[in-house]
């Protein structure tokens, strides 16, 4: 609740014009409220993600919950299958309304589409620069749903005698600091960080690529990202089936290959009327890829947590920290190295820190093309490499389960996905 209040109060402050203020004062103002917003947003996101390990300890159901965060239609379709979905799991807590929870996750679809529609209406139809209008409308709608969520979603209460109990079978408690001794924890952290870095780089630089490199009209900054999201939305149906039929590794790899294809396409493209139409195909590929890798990374993180749901908040927090740290550093480096356009009146990026790096406007245009292609592609390569280490660790395991745990330093976590345990061992033997 406190984090939601911070987000609601800080986000509109970031979009105030403050044109009459000095540069130093504006700089300090934006830094303060950006830090507050990022703190609040991270806390809200981590708390929301940490709900899933508490809802179910079954890896397939956690995968569905992660997918429902991207797809409302599947949530509504599955609403009438509660006995089948929840069978044998603690979701049947009478204090939790499972179908309502699915609807809440599915509302992410509307929350992502609405800003693009608002931007398109303001920039495309109204022809204005109403960033503040878009922000205020979005924050207002978000505030209403935040209030509804906190009023209608009961919080699960742990046992007063043992608030960190895992189960009643007397197993030894798993402490937060124990995660730092597990190799798979770091492997999954790199996978999650790289997946989110890929998604963040695409979202951050696609608009600069459209306007500075391809010289597309202003409304493209709403239309193309909307195409990316709609592609990701419809791909959730395929991703869910792919996870069930092919597994996490294959699903992630397919998304990675499509993302690499889009990045190569961007690197080879040139500004032309014909290529502007090809951008829509690139957007579709990026949409599927970002959704596939992020959803699968979340699924693998939930699988890693297993029944140690009392540490779920810490695990997601650590993953989010690595994601934001890597994204912040990567974006800062890219913007720090931007060559300044020597021709006044042309496309000139806002300077951040550094000296004069004068260059032709053509160099600036090519810079954002290379930044999007190489940045997103490199992040995907890192993610695929991390996935390969997890897959390799699984396949290199000896026949002795105890020896496998000693090599990988992976705790025997119940409910883990078979993608994270040796092929030659069944889950019962591993646990």
Query: Is 213 strand, coil or helix?
Result: helix
Q: What is the pLDDT of residue 87?
A: 40
Distance between CA atoms of residues 113 and 117, nearest Å: 6
Query: Is 15 strand, coil or helix?
Result: coil
Residues 6+ apart with CB under 8 A from 367: 337, 338, 339
Q: What is the pLDDT of residue 110?
A: 60
Distance between CA atoms of residues 357 and 355, nearest Å: 6
Distance between CA atoms of residues 3 and 48, nearest Å: 12
Q: What is the pLDDT of residue 352?
A: 42
Q: What is the pLDDT of residue 160?
A: 42
In the numeric block, the tokens 């924050």 are attached to 139
Contact predicate 193/323, CB 8 Å? yes
Handedness of CA 416, 410, 189, 370 (dihedral sign): negative
Q: What is the pLDDT of residue 149?
A: 78
Q: What dihedral angle (degrees, nearest 10) is formed by the CA atoms of 118, 124, 129, 133?
A: -20
Q: Determine whether 425 is exposed, middle or buried from the number of CB atoms within 10 Å of its CB (0-12, 13-18, 19+).
A: middle
Set out the domains of the chain in order of their start, with CATH numbers: 176-417 (1.20.1250.20)
pLDDT (tens, 9 = 90+) of the chain, 431 residues, equals: 788 899 999 988 888 877 788 888 888 998 999 899 988 887 887 777 766 666 665 666 666 666 555 554 333 333 333 333 334 443 333 333 333 333 333 455 566 677 777 777 776 655 555 677 778 888 888 888 888 877 876 665 554 444 333 444 434 577 888 889 889 899 999 999 999 999 999 999 999 999 888 888 877 887 898 899 888 888 877 887 888 888 888 999 999 999 999 999 999 877 666 777 899 999 999 999 998 998 888 888 888 887 787 787 788 889 988 998 999 999 999 988 887 665 544 444 444 434 444 445 667 778 899 999 999 999 999 999 999 998 887 665 444 444 434 434 433 334 444 444 433 333 333 33
Q: What is the pLDDT of residue 55?
A: 61
Contact predicate 98/83, CB 8 Å? no
Contact predicate 21/58, CB 8 Å? no
CA atoms within 13 A on the CB side of 364: 25
Model's pTM, two decimal places?
Answer: 0.69
Distance between CA atoms of residues 122 and 131, nearest Å: 8
Instruction: Kindly report, residue by residue over 364-399, the tens digit of the pLDDT.
Output: 778 899 999 999 999 999 999 999 998 887 665 444
Write phi, then psi, for 366 (nearest 5 degrees).
-70, -30
Instruction: Kindly report, residue by residue over 286-299, the tens digit of the pLDDT.
Output: 999 998 998 888 88
């Amino acid at each position: 609740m406190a984090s939601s209040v911070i987000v609601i109060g800080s986000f509109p402050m970031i979009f105030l014009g403050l044109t009459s203020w000095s540069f130093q004062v504006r700089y300090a103002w934006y830094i303060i409220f950006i830090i507050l917003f990022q703190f609040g947003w991270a806390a809200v996101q981590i708390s929301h993600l940490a709900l899933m390990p508490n809802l179910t300890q079954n890896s397939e159901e956690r995968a569905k919950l992660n997918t429902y965060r991207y797809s409302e239609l599947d949530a509504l379709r599955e609403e009438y299958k509660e006995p089948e979905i929840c069978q044998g799991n603690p979701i049947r807590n009478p204090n939790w309304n499972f179908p309502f929870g699915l609807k809440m996750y599915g509302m992410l679809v509307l929350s992502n589409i609405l800003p693009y529609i608002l931007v398109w209406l303001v920039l495309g139809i109204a022809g204005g620069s109403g960033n503040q209008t878009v922000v205020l409308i979005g924050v207002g709608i978000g505030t209403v749903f935040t209030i509804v969520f906190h009023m209608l979603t009961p919080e699960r209460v742990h046992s007063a005698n043992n608030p960190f109990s895992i189960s009643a079978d007397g197993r030894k408690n798993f402490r937060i600091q124990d995660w730092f001794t597990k190799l798979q924890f770091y492997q999954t952290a790199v996978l999650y960080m790289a997946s989110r870095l890929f998604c963040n780089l695409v979202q951050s630089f696609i608009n600069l690529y459209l306007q500075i490199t391809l010289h597309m009209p202003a409304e493209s900054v709403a239309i193309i990202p909307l195409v990316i999201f709609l592609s990701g939305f419809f791909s959730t149906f395929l991703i869910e089936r792919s996870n069930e039929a092919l597994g996490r590794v294959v699903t992630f790899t397919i998304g990675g290959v499509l993302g690499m294809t889009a990045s190569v396409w961007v690197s080879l493209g040139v500004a032309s009327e014909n290529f502007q139409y090809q951008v829509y195909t690139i957007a579709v590929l990026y949409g599927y890829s970002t959704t596939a890798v992020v959803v699968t990374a979340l699924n693998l993180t939930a699988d890693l947590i297993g029944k140690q749901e009392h540490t779920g908040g810490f695990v997601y927090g650590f993953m989010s920290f690595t994601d934001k740290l890597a994204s912040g550093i990567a974006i800062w480096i890219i913007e720090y190295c931007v060559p300044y356009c020597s021709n006044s009146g042309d496309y000139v990026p806002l300077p951040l820190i550094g000296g004069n790096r004068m260059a032709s406007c053509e160099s600036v245009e090519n810079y954002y093309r290379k930044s999007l292609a190489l940045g997103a592609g490199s992040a995907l390569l890192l993610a695929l490499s991390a996935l390969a280490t997890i897959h390799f660790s699984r396949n290199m395991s000896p026949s002795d389960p105890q020896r496998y745990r000693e090599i990988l330093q992976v705790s025997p976590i119940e409910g883990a996905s078979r993608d994270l345990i040796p092929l030659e061992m069944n889950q019962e033997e591993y646990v």
